[in-house]
Amino acid sequence: MRRPARVRGWCPGAWRPMATGDGLLVRVRPDLGRLTRAQGLALCDAAEAWGSGLIELTRRANLQLRGVSEAGWPALMAELVEQALVSADAEAERTPARLLAPDWRDGDDTHRAGRLLHDACVDNLTAWPMLPDKWGLALDAGPAPVLGEAPADLRLERSRKGGLLVRADGRDLGTPVDDIEAAVTLMTRLARWFLESGGADAGRMHRITTPLPDWAAATTAPAASGSPLRLGAHPFGWVVGLPFGRVPASTLRAALADDQVTGIRVTPWRRLLLEGRRGNINDGQPADGLIQDEDDPRLAMDVCPGAPHCAQASVATLDLARALSERRGDHPAGRVHVSGCAKGCARGAPAEVCLVGRDGRYDLMLGGRADDTPVATGLDASDAIEYLETRDASRL
Ligand code: SF4
C-alpha cells in the first residue's frame, strides 16, 4: 500500500490522513451513520492496535483515530477496508459527506435518501461534481429537523405541512420537492449551480449570496426544529454521551460487549445510540468514560483536542475543560467552547463563553466564536476558571 497522502488542511479522511501533533489522524465516515456491532468492535481493536486507544466523535458525526504512525497506517487501512468502514476506492471519500438524522428507520425518507445518495456518490463517482473538502449534505426528513446546527451545505427537511424540501444552507426557506428521487436530483443540480456561482472559492454554500436559480425557487419554511437525542432509553436502544467527544476504545468495547447490542449510530451531538441496548451501561458494565446524565456539565462544552494532540494548538484544552466542568455545577454559564486555536474546530457557532489558545495563553470571548474579538487576553488556566466562577470579566 502506498504512503499516506498527508493533508495539512482541515478535512482529513482515512485515505488522506492529517499529520497532527501526535501522529496521523484517520477519519472514518460510517455509511448511513451506522456501524454494525462487529464494525464497532473492530474499530475499538484498530484504535488500540494502531492508534492512541481513543476514538473521537466529531460534530459531523465522523469517527476518528489519532496517534497513528506512518508505518502503521497501511495495516490500519487494510483492516478498515476489510471491515467495510472505509471504501477501497480512495476517491469515494472525496464525495460529499452525508449526515443522517440518527433515528432513521429502514425505508423511511431519510434512509432512502441516504441509500440513493450513496449510490450516486460512491457507486457512480462521476454523478456528482468535485466539491470543496468540507462540503456535506444533511438528510433530516423526520417530522422535525434535528440537524439544523450541524454543518451541511444542502439539507433535506420536512416543511411545516409535512412535505419534503431541499434547503441551501444559509437560507431560511427551502425548495419543495415531490419525492426523494426529486430531492436527490435537485441536490445534484444545486451542487453544480454552487460551483458555477463561485463555490470553489467560497468553499461553503452559506457564503454564496447569489439568489437561487428559478428552477430551485425557495418558497417554503422548514418545520420547527426538534431536539437532539436525549441520553438514556430510546426506542432503538440506549443513548450515551462522550465526554468532549472522546471515548477510550476499552470503554466502548465494554458497552458493546452485551450481545443484545446490534450496532452503533453516530450523531453530531457527541452522543452515540447503541442499537438494541436495553438498560443503563452501569448494569454489570464499566461506565467510566461515558456520560449518562443529561445534567452532566460536560454536555454543554465543546472542546477540541488542543496541545499536544494538535500541532496548531499552543495550549492544552482538555485539562482546562475538565477543571471547568468540575466547577460548573454551581455556576452554570451556558455553552462553553475551549479551543486550542482560532480555527475553532469543535464549534462553529458562538458560545456564551469561548476560551481560545494564542501564544501559550487563553483569550476570552463572550457570546462569540473562536475567531471573534476577545474581551480579555493573555489568561492562564486559573484566570479562566476564576472567570467562570465569578462571571466577572472586569476582574481579569
Ligand atoms: S481548533 Fe483545535 S483541533 Fe482545530 S486546529 Fe486549532 S488546536 Fe487544532
Determine contact, residues 276/326, Cβ cutoff 8 Å.
no
**pLDDT of the residue at 133:** 87
Q: CA 141, CA 159: separation in Å to the nearest integer?
A: 9
Across the chain, the runs of DSSP E, i.e. the strands, are 18-20, 23-28, 34-36, 54-57, 63-68, 97-100, 136-139, 154-158, 164-168, 175-177, 232-234, 237-241, 246-248, 263-266, 271-275, 301-303, 336-339, 351-358, 361-368, 376-379
CATH superfamily of 297-395: Sulfite Reductase Hemoprotein, domain 1 (3.30.413.10)
**pLDDT of the residue at 4:** 57
Q: How many CA atoms lie within 13 A of 344 on its CB side?
A: 18
Band of the pLDDT at 279, cuts 50, 70, 90?
Answer: confident
Other beta carbons less than 10 A from residue 82's beta carbon:
11
**pLDDT of the residue at 234:** 96
Q: Is-above-0.85 flag for pTM?
A: yes
**pLDDT of the residue at 280:** 75
Q: What is the mean pLDDT of residues 373-394?
A: 81
pLDDT at 286 over 50: no
Ligand 1 atom, smallest distance to 311 CA: 8
Which residue matches cell numbers 496521523?
A: 24
pLDDT digits (tens, 9 = 90+) for 214-263: 999 999 999 999 999 999 999 999 999 999 999 999 999 999 998 899 99
Question: Distance from the CA of 322 to the center of ligand 1, in angstroms?
Answer: 17
Ligand 1 atom, smallest distance to 341 CA: 6
Closest Cα to atom 6 of ligand 1: 341
Start and end residues for every CATH 3.90.480.10 domain found in the chain? 1-87+229-292
b/e per residue 121-144 (b: at least 16 CB within 10 A): bbeeeeebbebbbbbbbbbbbbeb
Q: What is the dihedral of CA 253, 257, 259, 260, to 10 degrees?
A: -80
**Residue 238 corresponds to which cell in the numbers above?**
440506549
pLDDT at 340 over 70: yes
Q: Which residues line ligand 1 (CB under 6 A)?
A: 304-306, 310, 312-313, 339-341, 343-345
Question: Distance from the CA of 225 to the center of ligand 1, in angstroms?
Answer: 29
Q: Which of 118-122, 131-135, 139-143, 321-325 has the highest mean pLDDT?
A: 139-143
Closest Cα to atom 4 of ligand 1: 345
Q: What is the mean pLDDT of residues 144-152?
A: 94
**pLDDT of the residue at 394:** 54
Other beta carbons less than 10 A from residue 79's beta carbon:
17
pLDDT digits (tens, 9 = 90+) for 303-334: 999 999 898 999 999 999 999 888 765 445 68
Q: What is the mean pLDDT of residues 177-196?
A: 96
Query: Closest Cα partner for 110 from 68, 67, 139, 77?
Result: 139
> Which bin fits 84, alpha (ψ -120 to 50), beta or left (φ > 0)?
left
Higher-pLDDT residue of 7 and 204 is 204
Pick from 54, 304, 315, 354 the residue to mutate for probing ligand 1's pocket: most ligand atoms within 8 Å of its CB: 304
Query: Closest Cα partner for 40 from 288, 294, 240?
Result: 240
> Which bin fits 296, alpha (ψ -120 to 50), beta or left (φ > 0)?
beta
Q: What is the mean pLDDT of residues 11-38?
A: 93
Question: Distance from the CA of 178 to the center of ligand 1, in angstroms?
Answer: 42
Question: Distance from the CA of 305 to the center of ligand 1, in angstroms?
Answer: 7
Q: CA 364, CA 350: separation in Å to the nearest integer?
A: 12
CATH architecture of the domain with range 1-87+229-292: Alpha-Beta Complex (3.90)
Question: Distance from the CA of 190 to the center of ligand 1, in angstroms?
Answer: 31
Band of the pLDDT at 1, cuts 50, 70, 90?
Answer: low
Question: Distance from the CA of 304 to the center of ligand 1, in angstroms?
Answer: 6
Determine contact, residues 160/223, Cβ cutoff 8 Å.
yes
**pLDDT of the residue at 97:** 92
Pick from 303, 345, 354, 371 the residue to mutate for probing ligand 1's pocket: most ligand atoms within 8 Å of its CB: 345
Pick from 54, 301, 320, 341 the residue to mutate for probing ligand 1's pocket: most ligand atoms within 8 Å of its CB: 341
Start and end residues for every CATH 3.30.413.10 domain found in the chain? 297-395
Question: Distance from the CA of 12 to the center of ligand 1, in angstroms?
Answer: 13
Question: Distance from the CA of 17 to the center of ligand 1, in angstroms?
Answer: 15
Q: What is the mean pLDDT of residues 90-108?
A: 93
Q: CA 222, CA 144: separation in Å to the nearest integer?
A: 8
Question: Distance from the CA of 21 to the center of ligand 1, in angstroms?
Answer: 10
**Residue 279 corresponds to which cell in the numbers above?**
438498560
Ligand 1 atom, smallest distance to 343 CA: 1
Alpha helices by DSSP H, the chain: 37-50, 73-82, 109-118, 180-196, 199-202, 249-256, 318-327, 381-390
Ligand 1 atom, smallest distance to 313 CA: 7
**pLDDT of the residue at 6:** 43
Mean pLDDT rounded to a whole number for the chain? 90
Residues 6+ apart with CB under 8 A from 365: 351, 353, 354, 355, 356, 372, 373, 374, 375
Band of the pLDDT at 348, cuts 50, 70, 90?
Answer: confident
Which residue matches cell numbers 462553529?
A: 348
Pick from 343, 363, 371 the residue to mutate for probing ligand 1's pocket: most ligand atoms within 8 Å of its CB: 343
